[in-house]
Amino acid sequence: MADYGPIVIARMSLVTVCLLVAACGGSANSTSNSSAGATPSPTKGAHVNSVDACSLVTAAEASAAAGSTVTNLSAGAGAQTPGICVYGSSDGSTSVFVLAQVYPDTTTADSISPEQMAAVMNGQMGVTNAKSVQGIGDKAFEYTATSSSGGGIAIFVFKANVVLMIALSPTTDSAKVEALARAAVGRF
């Protein structure tokens, strides 16, 4: 199986962003000023206006989870993609990818299907072992990807009107990815 370094993770992220935007049928920047007909769910968190993916997971946290020093590759890439942060090791063997997509409302975010995301990831990375994760956000799903470098784990977290994805490669330790997700959700 192929090696999934930061470049492949970045390509996967682009496909994931396209899927997330297409799934809601419009731009993530759409807003609505009308409150008529919309009843907020009392069990969901407050509405999130914007999210900086690189502030959700710091380089220090990404390095600790990866077990090696990683730096923010997004910062040196020139034109940054909003909602995406990519950390990588200097030799390209380790990566931590963070994607945070803000939707106009919780209903739109909830319409994103974990199965759709898994299908995209399966086509890119051969994901398996999908499982529900309790205690992170409103709901969370974790996927394992296999590769010659040891594979990786991605978690999708739904919290209020935000869908968050964090992928760590290589790793087989889901606790590391889950810890990053818990910290990130706490910063919304």
Q: Which long-range contacts (CB under 8 A, 24 or more apart) does 144-153 make?
A: 144/172, 144/174, 145/4, 145/121, 145/169, 146/1, 147/1, 147/2, 147/3, 147/4, 148/1, 148/2, 148/3, 149/3, 149/4, 149/5, 149/93, 151/4, 152/4, 152/125, 153/177
- For residue 64, pLDDT over 70 is answered with yes
Q: What are the chain's domains?
A: 6-23+48-185 (3.40.1000)
Residues 162-182 have pLDDT tens digits of: 999 999 999 989 999 999 999
Residue 159 is predicted with a pLDDT of 94
pLDDT in tens, 98-150: 999 999 999 998 888 777 776 666 665 566 667 899 999 999 999 888 766 56
Cβ-contact 145, 4 below 8 angstroms: yes
Mean pLDDT (the chain) is 77
Write down the pLDDT at residue 128. Answer: 61
> How does residue 10 score in pLDDT terms, banded at 50, 70 and 90?
very low
Query: Can you give the pLDDT at residue 151?
Result: 83
Per-residue pLDDT of 70-103, as tens digits, reads 999 987 766 567 889 999 999 999 999 999 999 9
Distances (CA, A) of 71 to 3, 11, 151, 174: 19, 18, 20, 21
pTM beyond 0.85: no
At residue 82, the pLDDT reads 80
